Homo-oligomer: A and B are copies of this chain.
Amino acid sequence: MNTFGRLFRVTTWGESHGSAIGCVVDGCPSGLELKQEEIQAELDRRRPGQSSIVTPRAEEDRVEILSGIFEGRSLGSPISMLIQNRDVDSSKYEAIKDTPRPGHGDLTWRQKFGHVDWRGGGRNSARETAARVAAGAVGKKLLQTAGISIIAHSKEIGGIKADGVEVNSNNIDEIKKKIESNPVRALDRADEMEKAILAAREDSDSVGGIVEAVALGVPPGLGEPLSHKLDAEIAAAMMGIPAVKGVEIGAGFELVKMKGSEANDEFIIDDDKVRTSTNNCGGILGGISNGMPIVIRVAIKPTSSIGKEQKTVNLATMEGATIMVGGRHDPCIVPRAVPVVEAMLALVLADHSLLAGTIAGTSGRIAP
């Protein structure tokens, strides 16, 4: 299955070294103003070749919108988007097509499908996330009409942990700028993180990290109990991003060591609304948003494709083998995962906004 969402549905398609990748966004209400440049801007944040710490694969990642937009506004019909694959070099992959890369899905895809496109990881390549980012850009635009903003940043890379900054509606623009001002997309200690990445690359190795994301302006009442809770769907969206192995919401794993009296967020009245004085729950209680910022963190493992020699097996001969992965890989995927995390969070919130009726009005139009 390659479709995310129930009312805001995104289907992605494409192999890394095929002719193109793309997505179809179905269920976007009609009347949404949407420009090609707005989608391109998000893709530009994810695309390779932006700095010295990412893969040198030179993809422009120009998005073409093929349907669903007319006179600058969405039609309520599927928005089909396409990104050509241009800088394709499959030569490095032919040599390793029978020796699966440790830590990578090469083997499991082959176990499942038998016939695989071994070029550049085929469908099982992080390149597919470009399609999600394009779809996420539509989701973000839709959420904007309801005053919802999403922002993510590199919280930790290679053991270097940024100090906490509370994002709120006053500082969000400034923080966005700060995140984009350094190649690791951190709010703090960016230089140290960059050095950790470069050191890993130098050593033909890789490092991982944590991306933190915040959604502001989410109204109370989003979430579908009991089987499609907002936090459950966010967890699925995050865990489905390549290289993610952990997800937590609010104080997350820290809550494990707290007492109930410490963990519970007390209620207060603020400006005639009920809010909580702390936000250990990360904006979600009982699977439903409570109006506080949604705060999540995802654990991203170090890139599995590394130049160091590792043990693997030759599937053709069923004998032991070694591999040193060539090709063009990011020594740390965290900085480029930042826009992907934002995109996936946007898809979930857009879907739940439609489910809760807080965005679209009757008959699938943007609420007036």
Contacts and interface: CB of A to CB of B under 8 A. Distances in A.
B205 A227 contact: no
Contacts of A240: 226-229, 231-232, 287
Nearest to A291: B111
Contacts of A149: none
Contacts of A71: 115
B268 A313 contact: yes
Prevailing SS type, chain A contact patch: mixed
Contacts of A66: 13-14, 18-20, 22, 82
A104 interface: yes
Counting chain A residues whose Cβ lies within 8 A of the other chain, the interface size class is 35 or more
A342 to B, nearest CB: 17
B261 A308 contact: yes
Nearest to A248: B246
A248 B248 CA distance: 8
A171 B317 CA distance: 33
A14 to B, nearest CB: 5
Nearest to A304: B264
Contacts of A106: 286
A96 interface: no
Contact of A114 (B31, B205, B282, B302): B31
A247 B269 CA distance: 32
Interface in A9-52: 9, 11-15, 18-22, 24, 26-27, 30-31
Nearest to A312: B267
Contacts of A253: 210, 245-246, 248, 253, 299
Interface in A275-312: 276-277, 280-282, 284-291, 299-306, 308, 310-312
A339 interface: no
* Residue of A2, A22, A220 most packed against chain B (CB within 10 A): A2
Contact of A12 (B78, B111, B277): B78
A66 B12 CA distance: 12
A285 B105 contact: yes
Given A6-B6, A128-B226, 16 more contacts: A1-B227, A12-B78, A12-B226, A22-B80, A102-B267, A108-B289, A111-B363, A112-B223, A112-B364, A112-B365, A114-B365, A226-B240, A229-B239, A245-B253, A260-B302, A274-B315
